[in-house]
């Protein structure tokens, strides 16, 4: 945690995390505590979905600011003693407790009241496939619809009471089908997307604004998410699905900057940041007690630090992440991420410095197991079986033919296993379908080794694809 926070910058006041993958409050308790920071988590505890699948968190500099209340979920009516965000009878799904529990059980939203504004970080469900032909996809599409509907009801109830609201996180919705996603075919017709329709409705009029687009109405290639397995980050072939939504009054008067750190490594998502004027932050009163859902209140007295885990580990760096912001609209070519991690959204006074060291530096990577020596197996193909003294010539010939057939079979097998060449004439990479819901799960295939990108880009993936079992011998 400390390495992550240091990397994101020393000027940050609040850090929002999505897809934390914690499965219980016990996981939160065991997390390292970073000196000078407090926070709150919403974890995935739903019995209807994968435990530990999602989850969100908000951290703040506890020596500078302190929230007045915290609330988990989009359907909850508020926690005891913390009623500043309570929606009462108008709470979403107030008459359907079962559905409300399902929606909030995945830990996809966390509300934190900082006095001048209410911050909500979200991890909106992603839906893959066609709901019209797949029952499970249809269920998840309905879940996403209900989640967004509840989120809308909650933030609008706050706006009706005159509160400033900032929504941020991983939305899994590209606001503009043309501008906010890599488009292979500029002439393609935009398909209907209920989630994008919902977002467009929120941005209609003066209700809420996409802060990035308010500052950069036409800037392209400002992507925040890529398929790193295909190397798409190297060619910046992705989509913009991480962003801030604010009410227009805040955006026009009190936001000082917004940007995307596309070169920040370690995730398939880039951190996005929002810079607010100093008057938006209420200094912490020395007598102020954090809300009951704050980590410091839930687990008092527990202070695990990096030093207690890695006594001799230390890392320093003066590297600075490159941000896509008002000061510089040019986009540097992203570098390859070092590991898969959760997406990050931060609220700050300004982007700052990041060290090059990562948590990987604290671990020693085990060397691969030595492959067994298969020379003996290969020799079996070339050794003819000894002929017994009583064997006739026919038996000897049959044995020799069998050995030659075995040799041919093995050579054919090895030829099929060797990766073919792609259209660039380069050796293909070997990949395996890992999606459990896919009918092809477990199948191995060959594909172009270059990063994904537009088909018109000759330096990117040429589109070569071949199932391994269809590999023809050389």
Task: Report the relative pairing of strands 56-61 and 37-42 from DSSP bridges.
Answer: antiparallel
Please count the residues of the chain. Answer: 474
Query: Closest Cα to residue 149, out of 201, 98, 191, 193?
Result: 201
Rounded to whole angstroms, the Cα distance separating 169 from 251 reads: 17
Cβ–Cβ < 8 Å for 109, 97: no
Query: Helix, strand or coil for residue 402?
Result: helix
Q: How far apart are the C-alpha atoms of 115 and 472, rounded to whole Å?
A: 67
Q: How many CB atoms lie within 10 A of CB 114?
A: 23
Contact 446, 418 (CB under 8 A): no
Report whether 49 contacts 106 (CB < 8 A).
Answer: yes
C-alpha neighbours within 13 Å on the C-beta side of residue 144:
23
Residue 268, annotated as binding a ligand: yes
Compute the distance between CA of residue 392 and CA of residue 232 in angstroms, rounded to an integer: 65
Token pair 């991420």 in the structure block, residue: 337
Number of Cα atoms under 13 Å in the Cβ half of residue 468: 16
Q: CB neighbours of 18 closer than 8 A, spacing ≥ 6?
A: 54, 55, 56, 121, 122, 123, 169, 170, 342, 343, 344, 345
N-terminal to C-terminal alpha carbon distance within the chain = 51
DSSP strand pairing (165-170 vs 238-239): unpaired
User: Could you tell me how far CA 31 lies from the centroid of its own chain?
Assistant: 20
| DSSP H helix total and E strand total for the chain | 11, 17
Instruction: Decide if 118 contacts 166 (C-beta within 8 A).
Output: yes
Contact present, 92 and 75 (Cβ < 8 Å): yes
**Both structure tokens of 388:** 């017994």
Active site residues per annotation: 123, 170, 269
Which tokens sit at 357?
Answer: 């060291």
Beta strand 165-170 with 118-123 is parallel
Is 269 annotated to bind a ligand? Reply is yes
Q: Give me 261's structure tokens.
A: 């750190």
**Dist. CA 51–CA 28, nearest whole Å:** 14
CA distance 79 to 293: 9
**Residues within the annotated binding site for Mg(2+)?**
19, 170, 172, 268-269
Residue ranges at the known binding site: 19, 170, 172, 268-269
């Amino acid at each position: 945690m400390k390495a992550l926070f240091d990397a994101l910058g020393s000027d940050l006041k609040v850090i929002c995390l999505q897809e934390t993958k914690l499965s219980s409050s016990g996981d939160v308790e065991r997390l390292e505590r970073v000196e000078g920071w407090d926070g709150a988590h919403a974890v995935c505890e739903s019995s209807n979905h994968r435990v530990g699948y999602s989850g969100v968190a908000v951290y703040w500099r506890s020596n500078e600011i302190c929230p007045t209340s915290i609330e988990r979920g989009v359907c909850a009516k508020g926690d005891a003693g913390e009623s500043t965000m309570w929606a009462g009878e108008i709470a979403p799904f107030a008459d359907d407790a079962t559905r409300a529990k399902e929606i909030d059980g995945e830990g996809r939203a966390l509300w934190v009241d900082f006095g001048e504004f209410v911050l909500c970080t979200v991890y909106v469900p992603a839906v893959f496939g066609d709901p019209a032909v797949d029952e499970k996809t249809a269920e998840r599409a309905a879940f996403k619809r209900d989640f967004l509907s509840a989120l809308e009801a909650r933030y609008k109830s706050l706006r009706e009471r005159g509160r400033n609201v900032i929504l941020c996180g991983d939305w899994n919705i590209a606001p503009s089908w043309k501008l906010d996603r890599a488009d292979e075919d500029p002439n393609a017709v935009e398909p209907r997307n209920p989630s994008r329709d919902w977002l467009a409705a929120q941005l209609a009029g003066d209700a809420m604004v996409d802060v990035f687009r308010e500052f950069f109405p036409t800037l392209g290639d400002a992507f925040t998410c890529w398929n790193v397995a295909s190397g798409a980050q190297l060619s910046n072939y992705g989509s913009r699905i991480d962003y801030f939504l604010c009410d227009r009054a805040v955006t026009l008067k009190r936001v000082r900057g917004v940007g995307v750190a596309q070169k920040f490594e370690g995730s398939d998502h880039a951190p996005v940041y929002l810079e607010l004027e100093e008057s938006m932050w209420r200094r912490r009163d020395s007598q102020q007690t954090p809300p009951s859902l704050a980590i410091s209140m839930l687990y008092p007295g527990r202070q695990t630090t990096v030093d207690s885990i890695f006594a001799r580990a230390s890392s320093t760096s003066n590297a600075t992440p490159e941000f896509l912001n008002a000061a510089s609209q040019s986009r540097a070519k992203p570098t390859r991420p070092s590991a898969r991690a959760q997406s990050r959204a931060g609220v700050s006074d300004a982007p700052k410095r990041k060290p090059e060291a990562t948590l990987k530096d604290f671990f020693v990577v085990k060397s691969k197991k030595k492959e067994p020596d298969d020379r003996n197996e290969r020799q079996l193909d070339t050794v003819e079986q000894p002929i017994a003294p009583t064997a006739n010539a026919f038996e000897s010939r049959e044995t020799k033919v069998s050995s030659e057939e075995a040799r041919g079979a093995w050579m054919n097998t090895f030829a099929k296993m060797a990766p073919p060449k792609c259209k660039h004439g380069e050796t293909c990479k070997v990949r395996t379908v890992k999606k459990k819901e896919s009918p092809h799960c477990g199948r191995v295939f060959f594909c172009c080794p270059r990063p994904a990108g537009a088909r018109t880009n000759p330096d990117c993936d040429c589109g070569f694809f071949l199932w391994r079992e269809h590999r023809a011998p050389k």
